[in-house]
Amino acid sequence: MKSTNNFQTSNPETVTVSRAEYEEKNAKLAAQDERIAELEQQVSVLMEALRLARHKQFGASSEKISEDAMEQLSFLFNEAEVCAEEESEEQPAPAPSRKQRKKHSFTLENIPEGTPTEVVEHRLEGEDLVCPECGDTMTEIGKEVVNKLKIKPAQVIVEQHVYYTYACRKCNETGIETPVVKAPREKSIIPGSFATAEAISYIMTQKFVMGSPLYRQEQELNRRGIPLSRQTMSNWILRATEEYLAPIYDRLHMELLKRAVLHADETTLQVLHEEGKAPQSESFMWLYRTSGDTDRPIVLYEYQPGRGGKHPKEFLAGFEGYLHTDGYAGYHNLPKEITVVGCWTHARRKFDEAVKALPKGKAKGSSAAQGLAYCQKLFDLEEQFADLSPEERYEKRLEQAKPVLDALLSWANSRMAAPKSALGKALNYLKEQWPYLTNYLKNGRLELSNNRAERSIKPFVIDRKNFLFANTPKGATGSAVMFSLIQTAIENGLDPYQYLTWLLKTANNADLKNPEIVEKLLPWNAPGECIAYTK
């Protein structure tokens, strides 16, 4: 009996379909189903991105863990206690009233000693002293003192130097050739310029501490009748940087490489006139700094035209130790003498974004919330270990943090998510960075995150919003040196204006090729007059 490719039934209205046509239709339906699933996944990813973008624009920027995540954290690590609490009939303590406001702690009693005081006396005179009862003259029996705060704009002062000339009258009277002696002329900070150390320090701190670009400083001075152009100010600070600050920067660089634990980060900078690059292209400001294990912190910035891994490799040449970084791959090809330590803040942020990207009401109990809870547990443990010695912290981490890490990795390997989804990105980041993220267990001096570097690079990012760009690579390099000296001074508890003024005055008459002299000019060797007042 011959086989046929047609399927027939007794129903006369049924259309006969060949096997080839049937399989072709099935293939088309399968392709449509696959396409629909792909589109649904794209829609899901786009909706996540939209919710996350809305949260970034309108929501709180804090990464503080939410109540739902806190509950998830408690359930993950204290399930028995949570279940017992749910059965408890005790009522929670009432939340503090919104009307309760923290009182301001600042009063004029906190003003530093030596602050100038202007006394304004209010006395009665003439008829006001006549007693309204008997008409006699009243006498002073007491006083009430009320202190107020008065702030004046920065003063502009012309420093006039008068150099006297001396001669011997006796020699002149006796006909002897009269010697003429002049008072020694003080060396100018910048030859041929009327700049002073105070003026240069003020311009630097206004630009790199207060974020006031040179054109704004120019406008402010012009309003006071001082026609000092931004070109002149730029020449002043660049010349002073090249001659006086650069040797200090180089010495700090040498000192930095001797430390055992460092942090690194980088951010963009636009340089308008850079050879071989368009004005719109990005250059980079790199940051390298000491960790929290020293009482002589160093913060250094370095300008580079790119973001290649060769830049940290060159800057850190000779360094042997631990380097805290974010997840940028450029740090992962450093010499074997450098151990890269990953940042758990970045890992936690990925899960935090995954939670925020979920639809409202879907976060509780989600995989994203569970991942966030694991990360938060590590931070909570670090807070408990904060006051321990490095040796004790090392032991506690192995005892308490390592089991959490093992559980987190096991949990992450059991989870599936679309690679482009927020949860998928968080899981991929965690797995790719795992060898670096767990390196903090190797030494008790290491930190859980690279927040120290992010805090140090933030002042530059804030100032960049004001000055927007650098004009030339030379200006960008000079800015890196100035910013380094200023931020290192601040980290060492110094007032940057006072430190720069002292540094410029001292270096003006010093041999900066002598390492011993340069050593004496480092921030931790500055005199007491440079210390910032803190309460």
- Report which residue type is found at 245: L
Instruction: Report pLDDT for 472.
Output: 83
Instruction: Report pLDDT for 51.
Output: 65
Give me the residue label for tokens 């004046």: 152
- List, in order, residues 6 or more apart from 133 with CB less than 8 Å away: none
Among 336, 324, 257, 247, smallest CA distance to 291 is for: 324
**Within 13 Å of residue 368, how many CA atoms lie on the same side as its CB?**
26
Q: Residue 405 is encoded by which pair of tokens?
A: 């890490």
Q: Is 374 helix (H, G, I), strand (E, B) or coil?
A: helix
**Residue ranges, the chain, pLDDT below 70:** 1-15, 17, 44, 47-48, 51-52, 54-108, 467-469, 534-535
Q: Residue 59 is encoded by which pair of tokens?
A: 């929501």
Q: How big is the chain, counted in residues?
A: 535
Instruction: Report pLDDT for 13.
Output: 62
Instruction: Report pLDDT for 61.
Output: 60
- List, in order, residues 6 or more apart from 24 with CB less than 8 Å away: none
Instruction: Compute and round to an integer the Cα radius of gyration of the chain.
Output: 35
Instruction: Report pLDDT for 332.
Output: 93
Instruction: Report pLDDT for 275.
Output: 78
Pairing of strands 338-341, 17-18: unpaired
